[in-house]
Amino acid sequence: MTARTRPEIATARRVVVKVGSSSISGENSAKIAPIVEALAAAHARGTEVVLVSSGAIATGMPYLLLGERPSDLATQQAAAAVGQNVLIYRYQEALRPFRIVAGQVLLTAGDLENATPRSNARRAMERLLGLRILPIVNENDTVATHEIRFGDNDRLAALVAQLIGADALVLLSDIECLYTRPPDEPGARPIHRVEYGDDLHGFEFGSVVVNSVGTGGAATKVSAARVAAASGVGVLVTSADLVDSALRGEDIGTWFDPNPEPTSTPATGPLRRVVPARALDTLAE
């Protein structure tokens, strides 16, 4: 059943959680353990959990002796190839005490745009979930030349939520909630809830930015949340440090109400690749 409100996340049948590079790489690699603990707790309550995790390039950088994110595509691909292996190992080691097995799923934009690979991806993840495996999804950065430049996995998480008919999507960030403008600026106010169809024009969400380990920004999260909400998936945006509270349905973060009348069911209908009407003029492409 689709989570129509925050508290319903706690009893949702299927939830997609997205975590970004900055939350799990470098000095923050130790945060994998508490994130996994929260996922395991939801798993124990009977929720089917899918994790969309960035971080392959960032995780691989130290092994290539790189001090900052590489700018050339070949080195990005090399770092991703090394880092994805290490990243999955770290997740599996953190999951081991809970007797949960991870299943790696690497996707490109083409996989979700074309009917045959999209059907194959859906079938594989449905079977993994049926076997109580925790799928860990990431862009296939080693081969996805366009998406590796596009940036963040927020949109991928929204598309995965649609693909598998998730009841809720949790987008983890570095801050507790979204604000009407960058939170370090005067007059910034927290956004508690976004009703479906709300016109957010005039709010100043940061566009895509690139730091030393990854890409992202509030705008990409808003854009992804609007895409998922349009197809009937409730979305919560909050801090990675609050993932356990988020999955327990506590009153935190920014909640996006799902479309009460989606035009197609997420699991069977076509994937939406555009932001709904009246979306932000300032959103990143």
Q: What's the first-to-final CA gap in the chain, in angstroms? A: 31
Binding residue per annotation — 184? no
Binding residue per annotation — 141? yes
DSSP 205: -
**What's the helix, strand, coil split of the chain in %, to 5?**
45, 15, 40
In angstroms, the Cα distances linking 234 to 46, 51, 132, 237, 254 are 19, 16, 23, 10, 11
Binding residue per annotation — 153? yes
Task: Please tell me the distance from the alpha carbon of residue 259 to that of residue 100, in angstroms, as a whole number.
Answer: 33
Residue whose C-alpha is closest to residue 156's, from 3, 63, 264, 52 = 52
Binding residue per annotation — 173? yes
Task: Please tell me the distance from the alpha carbon of residue 204 to that of residue 119, in angstroms, as a whole number.
Answer: 37
Strand-pairing partners, residue 107, are 139
Helix (H, G, I), strand (E, B) or coil at 270: coil
Task: List the structure tokens of 208.
Answer: 């895509």
DSSP 231: T
Task: Please tell me the distance from the alpha carbon of residue 125 to that of residue 104, in angstroms, as a whole number.
Answer: 10
In angstroms, the Cα distances linking 40 to 99, 151, 230 are 9, 28, 29
Starting at the earlier edge strand, list the strands of the sheet with 134-139.
Answer: 102-107, 134-139, 48-53, 14-19, 168-173, 234-239, 254-256, 193-194
Binding-site annotation: residue ranges: 18, 54, 141, 153, 173-174
Q: Which residues are annotated as a binding site for ATP?
A: 18, 173-174
Provide the annotated binding site for substrate.
Answer: 54, 141, 153
